[in-house]
Structure 1
């Protein structure tokens, strides 16, 4: 029986903020399985800020998306048919098939979720790349010490909310930066952050100063731009800054011009380091074991924003840049 898949491809490269006409929905008939392949049906797919960078035809740590090909990214799928010995119909797997309802992939390219987390979306979030990014970006890059002040921008996002919780587990003071009063309450009242400030407030600079009376020892940066400019003014000697994302800059159509961090880093004897979570692949078991243990103990909480319907995938992705999500943003496909 022929299986027809719906998929979303990159129709054109954006200039500035992506628009819906940068994407195109297509229907394709999938080929029969060859030995070692599986047919999977997508249950949940991930939309992430890094995908914006891959829409540009520029050199980066991963190749750019190709025009007229599907947007790839993390997805939780169910095996429908298998010619791979280690996989059976009904198995739940993690793949990189991305924005398509069905796909034929090599069995060696999927990770069986055994046991499957509950809910399944944790494999895309707290117990997946999101959690690993938070874990290694904070612990390995910044080496936080008990009693230090850790500031997180984009703190109500998928990675940021995990970073703040890990900081608390390690005995640090966690200060979050987010873009709405509801998110501020969520960080403090539900996740246990010591303080949180709204960067959209006209008193943001003063609020940040009050939240960090002893300065900033560790800054986990998901945002960049003017928010980070303000945080850097508060860094202490030997501060460590982890560059995870720069979402405030992704949609600019020309290079940003702002305060240069060099003098501050020099006079504060501080370190600013970018990182890519894939470079830690050999240590993923370590990170996942820690995250799973903390989650089981109730010390890590998860929050997700689930958008229902494959036809709403593009809207979900564009919503990342206006802050529609609290926590991990996923699309429920089927």
Structure 2
């Protein structure tokens, strides 16, 4: 037997532990061209909150009383595929389960000698790719411009800021604790960082962005974004990546109307998901891997241990407890297979 985590109900407001149901199921049996993957690390991500409601979106909602899926790094323990062997490390969108039977098309082999396997759920995975495309394709930062990043100490925001610095921009991060402010400035090289939880936030942001904002990478939405919009320069570009401030609101999220600001500044605002750029993943992955190996990119991971703690780690995303990428370690790999 092995454990899975199912969606027990569709939450209104912030999910709770009652949103999840732990279920014991028999070990999966393999069909032809499949692999049995033992889960090592699970990625928990804010976008998953949107999949818990039954609404039209860019990705289908999770089904009630069925296993939740997400980014997983695992180890092949059994294979009926010629492309994979026992002991291979793989990454894919797999079950929140201790074991998953996956087709050979659902997983990708990763090389643990190039970088730690966890990076394929973070800086070399979906979050790194999201930062890369949103900033470079939509934001298009130029040398000397000012780039503002909300959720800057998170997995996506921290990479956005570093790439913007590589492009010669002045980078201002927005985060919610003094620890994160110091991390952005002292470890990642952000020029400025401001705490949105302080009463002086708007004044602090205006002072940091005294020359206005040319590029805004938005992971948060809400009142943080309202404050940034008052500082937009002519022809500013806004990449809409996330709106975590509203994910758990029960009802419509209201705020200032944007039309006047957009017209007056001739600004460009575009929403996106990383899947929009699937055709260019190989190029982006090569660039990210190169920058990481050259020491131009740094990353942090917040790792919680234990399969039973996956829901807690997910819920923690909405309290901002994580620094960098939030992961859950489920198991050690089987060294006997090496």
Q: TM-score per shorter chain, which class?
A: over 0.9
CA distance in 1, matches of 2:303, 2:52: 23
Assess, with a 3 A threshold, how the Cα gap between structure 1 residues 96 and 321 changes in structure 2: closer, same or farther.
Answer: same
Work out whether 1:295 is the aligned partner of 2:275: no
Are 1:33 and 2:24 counterparts? no
- Shift in Å at residue 115 of structure 1? 5.2
Q: Deviations over 1:266-320 (max 9, x none)?
A: 1100011000101111100111111111111111001010001111100000000
**Is the counterpart of residue 164 in structure 1 residue 191 in structure 2?**
no
Closer, same or farther: CA 229–108 of 1 in aligned 2, 3 Å? same
Among residues 307, 320, 324, which one is paired with 2:321 in the alignment? Answer: 324
Q: d(CA) in 2 for partners of 1:96 and 1:331?
A: 15
Deviates more, 1:112-121 or 1:48-57: 112-121
Distance change (3 Å), C-alpha of 1:116 and 1:57: farther
Do 2:36 and 2:76's aligned partners in 1 also have CA atoms closer than 8 Å? yes
Counterpart Cα distance in 2 of 1:314 and 1:306: 13
Choose which of 256, 261, 271 in structure 2 pairs with 1:259.
Answer: 256
Contact 2:220 2:245 in 1 (8 A): yes
Aligned-pair distance for 1:107? Answer: 1.4
Matching residue of 1:285: 282
Per the TM alignment, residue 5 of structure 1 is displaced from its structure 2 partner at its CA by 2.0
Q: How far off is 1:235 after superposition? A: 0.3
Which residue is 1:173 aligned to?
170
Tell me how far apart the structure 1 counterparts of residues 210 and 286 of structure 2 sit (CA, whole Å): 35
Q: Could you list the runs of 4 or more consecutive aligned residues of structure 1 that deviate by over 6 angstroms after TM superposition?
A: none
- Unmatched 5+ residue regions in structure 1? none
C-alpha distance in 2, partners of 1:81/1:71?
A: 22
After TM superposition, the structure 1 = structure 2 runs for residues 8-157 of structure 1, keeping only pairs within 5 Å, are: 8-114=5-111, 117-157=114-154
TM-score, normalization by structure 2: 0.97
- 2:281 paired with 1:248: no
User: Shift of residue 169 of structure 1?
Assistant: 0.5
Q: Please give the per-residue CA displacement for 1:231-278, whole angstroms capped at 9, x wherever unaligned.
A: 000000000000000000000001011101111001100011000101
Q: Is the 8 A contact 1:215 1:235 kept in 2?
A: yes
TM-score (norm 1): 0.98
CA distance in 1, matches of 2:313, 2:29: 32
- Whether the 8 Å CA contact 2:212–2:233 is kept in 1: the answer is yes
* Contact 1:45–1:98 (Cα < 8 Å) also in 2: no
Cα deviation 1:71-96 (Å, max 9, x = unaligned): 11100010000000010000000011
Q: 1:61 to 1:116 in 2, by over 3 A?
A: farther
Q: 2:183 — aligned with what?
A: 186
Distance across 2 between alignment mates of 1:8 and 1:213: 48
Number of aligned residue pairs: give it. 331
| Structure 2 unmatched runs, 5+ | 332-338
Instruction: Give 3-state SS (helix, strand or coil) of 1:96's partner.
Output: strand
Distance 1:117 1:54, change over 3 A: farther
